[in-house]
Structure 1
Amino acid sequence: MADVDAIVDDLQAERAELDAAVSGVDADQWHRPTAARGLRVVDQIAHLNWTDELVIRAIRAPDRFAEEVDGVLAAPHATESINAGSAFVNAGTVQRSTWPRSRLLATWRRSADELSAILRALPRGTRIPWFAPRPLSAAAMAAARVMETWAHGQDVFDALERPRRPTRRLVHIVRLGVRSRDFAYQLRGMEPPCAEFRIELRAPDGELWTWGPADAPDRVTGLALDFALVVTQRLHRDDADLTTEGCAPEQWLGIAQAYAGPAGAGRERIGS
């Protein structure tokens, strides 16, 4: 059983790191473009605030939220449905990005603290409706929030040209990336591989993180940081310190994504 409190602790640490990065920025930095197409630093924070509030709504009124999501995702095809969900989330982001910086930061901090408290207090076995094929457990939702905060935070740190030290919190992003392998294929109308892959990644502290059968012929090895950047589409696969054995893992790294949004174009190669 996943330790929800431990994951929420990591979520709060991830948010605190990002908060410290944006708290003292000037107006130019606040509106500086990030590598995510069409998103400035302010938009990244607005997106995190809006999605935190959506999770709170999903927990407090799951039936009503599920009905709302069903209406948004009523498109007949999976890709169209996911695109509709993305448009719904983007609408809330755009609204918040027009707020004064002090208001947005205060609202983001308040909603983040509220969500953390709610996730900790949820009874064991609670399932949360979301823009995913199945409702999420509290632990899975907390891990997803770590992933999204870290990924959008990476865009912010890069835009502000500030260094960022990788931590063991990457395990949540890496685990989601591994578990979402088949989703990445299905999103693109492709048949997922039948066999499991062996994943061996070096953590920031030197520990080896592994998933899948030890004797699997299809393998991915390398740095956990680079894998996390690839599965959140913050780094082009060709720029990542990752090695594959077999054809299927190489194809997967080209389409991998750890989030439930539409299939994006990813990032261009460095220097292109």
Structure 2
Amino acid sequence: MPDDPAEVLDNWRGSRAASFEAMAGLDPKSPVIWGDGPMTCRSFATARLMETWAHGLDCFTTLGAEPVDTDRLRHVAHLGFRALPYAFRSQGITPPASLSELRLELTSPSGQFWTYGENSAPQTITGSAAHWCRVATRRMAAEDSDLLATGPLARSVLSTARAYLSDGA
């Protein structure tokens, strides 16, 4: 691995281009083997975007810089919601209610309203999409966020959400 920052960036850009080229030729529903088992190509691409964003936050933190969130966070927010069954299962936790009872109501960086889950779901998490994404990638503790959880399932989700395979827990 090169030590020169320009070489590291060039290497990353080359790897990104190769990954994009490989995925561009696949059907979005094609299976891709990764980590815990197969996932669709679309999910694989979304997961790579999430990882790049989350590790980018780590870089911003290291540099003492503030990132600018955009509505592209929709992909990370969606993945954080879709990964909830995995998050509970991988940590050996049984949710206090069916995940179908949860609805996320998030405000995007541009002010749009994003929802995940059924309209009739009795338990909700509301707040900014940026904070949801940071909580789901474990870059922010739920208690430091603006997220409001109503109900035991929603509260449990805030402590369990994980949009990636493992954190060694």
Would you say same fold, with TM above 0.5? yes
Contact 1:199 1:220 in 2 (8 A): yes
Kindly indicate whether residue 155 of structure 2 is the aligned counterpart of residue 250 of structure 1.
yes
1:182-207 Cα deviation digits (max 9, x unpaired): 21111121113324201100001111
Contact 2:28 2:42 in 1 (8 A): no
Residue 228 of structure 1: how far off its partner (Å): 0.3
Name 1:140's counterpart in structure 2. Answer: 43
Contact 1:230 1:253 in 2 (8 A): yes
1:118-170 Cα deviation digits (max 9, x unpaired): 111224542100112x4122211110011000000001011112221110110
Counterpart-to-counterpart distance in 2, 1:252 and 1:187: 13
Residue 244 of structure 1: how far off its partner (Å): 1.0
Give the structure with the larger helix fraction: 1
Paired residue type of 2:42: A
Once the two structures are overlaid, the 10-residue window that deviates more, 158-167 or 120-129, is: 120-129
Give the structure with the larger strand fraction: 2
Name 1:119's counterpart in structure 2. Answer: 23
User: Structure 1 unaligned runs (5+)?
Assistant: 1-95, 265-272
Residue 263 of structure 1: how far off its partner (Å): 4.9
Other structure's SS at 1:146 match: helix
Other structure's SS at 2:23 match: helix
Residue 116 of structure 1: how far off its partner (Å): 1.0
1:188–1:125: structure 2 CA closer, same or farther, 3 Å change rule? closer
TM-score normalised according to structure 1 size: 0.58
Contact 2:105 2:125 in 1 (8 A): yes
Name 2:89's counterpart in structure 1. Answer: 186
1:20-73 Cα deviation digits (max 9, x unpaired): xxxxxxxxxxxxxxxxxxxxxxxxxxxxxxxxxxxxxxxxxxxxxxxxxxxxxx
Aligned residue pairs: how many? Answer: 166
Counterparts of 1:49-128 in structure 2 under 5 Å? 96=1, 99-101=2-4, 102-123=6-27, 125-128=29-32
Paired residue type of 1:209: W
% identical equivalent positions? 33
Aligned Cα root-mean-square deviation (Å): 1.5
Contact 2:29 2:42 in 1 (8 A): no
Match of 1:235 among 108, 115, 140: 140
Name 1:151's counterpart in structure 2. Answer: 54
Contact 1:188 1:263 in 2 (8 A): no
Other structure's SS at 1:210 match: strand
TM-score normalised according to structure 2 size: 0.91
The structure that has the greater radius of gyration is: 1
Residue 109 of structure 1: how far off its partner (Å): 1.4
User: Structure 2 unaligned runs (5+)?
Assistant: none
